Chain A
Amino acid sequence: MNLLLESLVQLFGRAPRKPRKDELSPAVQKVYFHKKGEKVTKAELIALHDEHHKNSKNKWRKRRWLTLIAVNLLFVVSYYFDIQLLEGALTASRFAGFHMADLNSALQVMLAHKVVLINLLIGIVTVFILWLILGGRTFCSWVCPYHLLAEWAEMLHLKLFARGWAKNYTFHRGVRAVFYVIFALLAILTGYTVYEFISPTGILSRAIIYGPTMALVWIAVLLLFEIFLSRRAWCRYVCPIGITYGVVGVLSPLRITYDMSDCKHEGDCRAVCLVPHVLDLTIKNRSVDVEVGLGADCTRCGLCVDACPTSSLNFEFKGLTQKKKKEELSLMPPSVTEKNPAVEDKIND
């Protein structure tokens, strides 16, 4: 199974493919084999979670909210105190004088205007490299102000949904790729940056920096839709910015990795995730290897890391993060190998 290709097609909306048995590495098959029949109770899970997240409940969420608010406040502070540290808005800015351009906004502008602008190109390259290093859709969950509002709306949605006061209509995820093509075509054909007219990221960022506008009504409509009708609909099914940064993140060294050896496969991570399809590999017999990085659609928000009762999901920076070295055999309970010599044969089947 080509993980890179799988990650890309998932980004464009295809459902995760269940790997064939022969696509699973021998090591992972071994572990799955020994997990057969393993059961875990709710109480055990809670105990495990408490043990793994001692003194650090919602660690990543706290860090992320702080970062998101700090970045957006930096724009405001920089403008009001005229310190010229971060000028502009999220669509385009200057950080200490360096041009930065939101990749999606820059793309829309170039499609509409049909000119490659040199200054913009500098901004694009800077931001491209930045998010290539930091994980692509990391932009979504760590910077985009709409993400934070939508996250709060989601909390409300889940409460209302549990009481039956809200619905959760789902859509085909492929519709986001359709939107991507629609907005690209509209920009080319009309010569207007059509997406920017409805982009909650741009509208909110400008409202935070330059003061509230009537356009905030549109943000309210979106949030109400998400609260009462469809969980996280905009980020999941519409926003083309997610695809743009997702593509950047395909090759990013920063990602969340899944180590299935201790995983209880209870699905707590999928329950909190904005893009749960990237976590389908935590279902039994879905991970092709003992350790696998999550797909490009992952926003690196860290909610799953906080939720995982066994610390099976972790942030990793390829080449920098030291991996815990584990002997393959140590994964196998010794009792099994000693008492049942037929095990090896079965695994090799």
Chain B
Amino acid sequence: MNNSIPETQKQTADNKKTEKKQVAKNITRGPGRRAQQARRQFLRSVALATGVTSISLLGFIPIPSDAKRQKLRPPGALLENDYLSSCIKCGQCVQVCPVNAVKLSDINSGFGLGTAYIDAREQACDFSCDGLQCVLACPTGSLTHTLDYTHDTRMGFAVLDKPKICLAVAGQGFKGVARGTEYNGVLRYEEIDRWNPIPLKEHPYDVDICDLCVQACPIEQRYNQCQDGKYPSGDKNQCPPQRAIGLELIEEKNGVRHMKPVIYDGCVGCGVCEMICPTAEPAIIVDYNKLTKRPLSEQYLIKAKKGGHS
């Protein structure tokens, strides 16, 4: 009995072999073969469609490290979802920026691949183009064309993220170059050169209480110019209606008094404060999500309804 089992198995195996051979013979000739080839090609095509579509859907999963903190977008950017759908990924905004603040996202941003962003700590937008060049360059209105003035933008909102390390809060001054001699970021200093931004490392500071974030703030600078009666680009409309940031004397509950940078409603989230903050980690950062409290698109809608510029 035990011997017969392998034999029958062998027989069936042999039968299968001959069957296969016959099938093979049938399909290597005539219409059967063509049908099989067509079937295989069809299956391959289905696999290709599934494969490539699946890969394209990987864009839904940006690499987490990249998504940890919402990137700043260039001035006038629509809210994130609208921005991602309307951006045509051409980089014209990159090309016109005089301080090279605008960069393009890589594949780890998922569907954000090729969209423009600003890493404020690396190089913030200091509005030294004076005319929102990136907005003018945008071919799709992803950076909304309803935006006319620097102070109307909302890229985010500055927050004193780490008050404990803030030099002003600690009552310290600052002497030297803000970000060290290795740092390559640039800012425009109107009193030095109206047209060309200069490297931060060529512009040392010496202050008794650190107020670099306030000094460098482009909105504050414009606000102060207007207070002095000197309108930016000679245009009164360029005057920011509100202040953006200032050092205030704060008295804690325990009676300790110290200075502290306070952010006002005029802040546009350009990120210059985050860029210039001389501590190793920036004490002040721009939070994108704060802007959603005053939705950007809503602001522009209100403006458009008022018969504002378009």
Chain B neighbourhood of A113, CB < 8 A: 82, 85-86, 140
| A88 on the B face (CB < 8 A) | yes
B93 nearest CB neighbor, chain A only: A88
B111 nearest CB neighbor, chain A only: A192
Interchain CB contact under 8 A, B45 and A179 = no
Of A35-43, A156-164, A209-217, the one contacting chain B is: A209-217
Chain A neighbourhood of B88, CB < 8 A: 91-92, 101-102, 105-106, 109, 120, 193, 196
Within 8 A of A (CB), among B82-122: 82, 84-92, 94-96, 104, 106-108, 110-111, 113-114
| B197 on the A face (CB < 8 A) | no
Say yes or no: A117-B141 contact (C-beta < 8 A), given A206-B89, A210-B91.
yes
| B55 on the A face (CB < 8 A) | yes
| B246 on the A face (CB < 8 A) | no
Interchain CB contact under 8 A, A123 and B139 = yes
Interchain CB contact under 8 A, A88 and B92 = yes
Interface string of A173-204 (1 = CB under 8 A from B): 01100110011001000111111111000110
Interchain CB contact under 8 A, A171 and B90 = no
Interchain CB contact under 8 A, B89 and A202 = yes
Say yes or no: A88-B41 contact (C-beta < 8 A), given A93-B90, A206-B104, A213-B106.
no
Interchain CB contact under 8 A, A192 and B141 = no
- Chain A residues touching B, majority SS: helix
| B8 on the A face (CB < 8 A) | no
| A119 on the B face (CB < 8 A) | yes
Say yes or no: A171-B95 contact (C-beta < 8 A), given A186-B56, A192-B84, A202-B114.
no
CB distance from B82 to the nearest CB of A (A): 7
Say yes or no: A197-B106 contact (C-beta < 8 A), given A105-B89, A192-B111, A210-B91.
no
Q: Which of B41, B48, B90 contacts A91 (CB 8 A)?
A: B90
CB distance from A18 to the nearest CB of B (A): 15
Interchain CB contact under 8 A, B141 and A119 = yes
Interchain CB contact under 8 A, A178 and B49 = yes
Q: Which of A92, A183, A192, A198 contacts B139 (CB 8 A)?
A: A92
CA distance A186 to B57 in the complex (A): 9
From B91, B110, B145, residue with most partner A Cβ within 10 Å: B91
The A/B interface has a contact count, at CB < 8 Å, of 149
| B52 on the A face (CB < 8 A) | yes
CB distance from A201 to the nearest CB of B (A): 11
CB distance from B258 to the nearest CB of A (A): 45
Say yes or no: A172-B92 contact (C-beta < 8 A), given A194-B111, A197-B113.
no
Chain A neighbourhood of B53, CB < 8 A: 179, 182, 186
| A99 on the B face (CB < 8 A) | yes
CB distance from A273 to the nearest CB of B (A): 19
Interchain CB contact under 8 A, A88 and B107 = no
Interchain CB contact under 8 A, A94 and B92 = yes
CA distance A193 to B42 in the complex (A): 28
Interchain CB contact under 8 A, B41 and A170 = yes
13 CB contacts below 8 A, A to B, read: A79-B95, A87-B92, A87-B95, A88-B92, A94-B92, A101-B139, A109-B87, A113-B82, A179-B53, A191-B85, A196-B114, A197-B56, A197-B113
Known: A93-B92, A113-B140, A206-B104. 17 other contacts (CB 8 A): A79-B95, A88-B91, A105-B88, A115-B86, A117-B141, A119-B141, A120-B139, A171-B45, A172-B42, A174-B45, A192-B85, A193-B85, A196-B111, A197-B107, A198-B56, A203-B113, A206-B114
A residues near B (Cβ < 8 Å) are 79, 87-89, 91-94, 99, 101-102, 105-106, 109, 112-115, 117, 119-120, 123, 169-172, 174-175, 178-179, 182-183, 186, 190-198, 202-203, 206, 209-210, 213-215, 217-218, 233, 237-238
